[in-house]
Amino acid sequence: MSTSPVSLLPFNTFGLAQNARTLLVLEQRSQLPELWRSLRSELPLFVGEGSNLLFTAPFEGTVLVNRLKGITVSDVGDAWLVRAEGGEGWHGLVCWTLEQGMPGLENLALIPGTVGAAPIQNIGAYGVELAQFCEAVESFDWDSGEIRHWSAADCAFGYRDSVFKHAARRHLILSLTLRLPKAWKAVLGYGPLAALGATASPGQIFEQVCATRRSKLPDPGALGNAGSFFKNPKVGEAQAEALRLAWPALPVYPAEPGLVKLAAGWLIDQAGLRGCRLGGAGVHEHQALVLVNLGGATAEEIVRLAALVRERVEQQFGVRLEPEVRMMGPRDETNLDEVLACLN
């Protein structure tokens, strides 16, 4: 436990020097009843590694950092059930399961952040989403002070979405149980993975995923960022067809019936914004969907750059981008207009 105010610099991968009034680290479940009693009315902000967060203002409350640790496995015949505490690192869990000879998570290697945050936006990469492996989620309900158990269906997972995303500050995720089927099947649909061929091993896929990610995505330790700043937008098939007539190279991915997903990074790149900067904030040179802190950026610069990117893409393609990153100011926001209104 530390005293207030406290710097959030070690708790956000954008590398912004914002403060919180108080910061508490949850290391053992036995701390929960007392923490809940003292913070019940206040509702703390739950944070893992801050790799999907942008602190747009000093946080006038308590940040509760989840560092609960532990992994257990049970063999249920055709699968392994892996239960990990919310403060475990996600990439560490991926490596650990592979080392134990339990493949499945290799496509999700090197995604920053904690296990407890993984269900919030249903993390995904290279053709795989957490939802495909999620067996159960255990949470602490901050309203009632009770432990709750969620099946995968309860979680209502979607693309970068879940039931928790809409009430993330109410349900503190304590643990996640994954079902890893013993009948492993490679997922090789994504470009650089297809080149591995049908006999690719989990280890080879893991290595390829890590190499691909390192070539595109900036290491937050070297260049502050929170991964993709925007979600890939979904549009109707007719709109995508019209766009394709004008831009035949437009990447289009399948989504729900009647909808397709467009590559926001491609749209931003085609709008001529890759590498552009606003003060200390920049559009990453190797991946235009990632906004970066080039050094000394303020949250306002990052938000204004995001607004500029959204405006230019909308002008050129008629497609409105929505942030993926959670913006924490007076409120927990993914609505850029609300955040801009607070800056003005």
Q: Which one of residues 123, 131, 223, 292 is an interface residue with ligand FAD (CB under 6 A)? A: 123
Binding mask 157-186 for ligand FAD (x = CB under 6 A): -----------x--xxx-------------
- Give the whole-angstrom CA distance, residue 218 versus residue 223: 6
Reply yes or no on whether 322 is catalytic. no
Question: By CB under 6 A, is residue 339 in contact with ligand FAD?
Answer: no
Query: How many angstroms from the chain centroid is the CA of residue 52?
Result: 5
- Give the whole-angstrom CA distance, residue 205 versus residue 188: 8
Reply yes or no on whether 29 is catalytic. no
Terminal Cα distance for the chain, rounded:
35
Question: By CB under 6 A, is residue 323 in contact with ligand FAD?
Answer: no
The two beta strands, 234-236 and 252-254, are unpaired
Tokens representing 253? 């991915």
Q: Is the dihedral of CA 234, 238, 239, 245 positive or negative?
A: positive
**DSSP line for 154-205:** TTT-BTTB-GGGGSTTTEEEEEEEEEEESS------SHHHHTT-TT--HHHH
Residue of 228, 310, 326, 333 marked catalytic: 228
**163: Cα within 13 Å, side-chain hemisphere:** 13
Question: By CB under 6 A, is residue 90 in contact with ligand EPU?
Answer: no
Q: Which one of residues 8, 63, 120, 128 is an interface residue with ligand FAD (CB under 6 A)? A: 120
Q: Which one of residues 8, 16, 35, 53 is an interface residue with ligand FAD (CB under 6 A)? A: 53
Q: Residue 162 binds which entry of ligand EPU, ligand FAD, none, with Cβ cut-offs from 5 to 8 Å by kind? A: none
Residue of 88, 324, 326, 333 marked catalytic: 324
Cα Rg of the chain (Å, integer): 20
C-alpha distance from residue 176 to each of 45, 85, 139, 149, 179 (Å):
19, 7, 9, 10, 10
- Identify which range of 75-83, 84-92, 163-171, 227-235 contacts ligand EPU by CB under 6 A: 227-235
Q: Which one of residues 126, 150, 157, 206 is an interface residue with ligand EPU (CB under 6 A)? A: 126
Min separation Cβ 95 and ligand EPU, Å: 17
Instruction: Catalog residues that contact ligand EPU under the rule CB under 6 A.
Output: 125-126, 216-217, 227-228, 231-232, 251, 263, 265-266, 269, 274, 287-289, 324
Catalytic residues: 160, 228, 324
Instruction: Catalog residues that contact ligand FAD under the rule CB under 6 A.
Output: 13, 45-53, 66, 86, 111-114, 116-118, 120-121, 123-125, 168, 171-173, 217, 220, 225-227, 326, 332
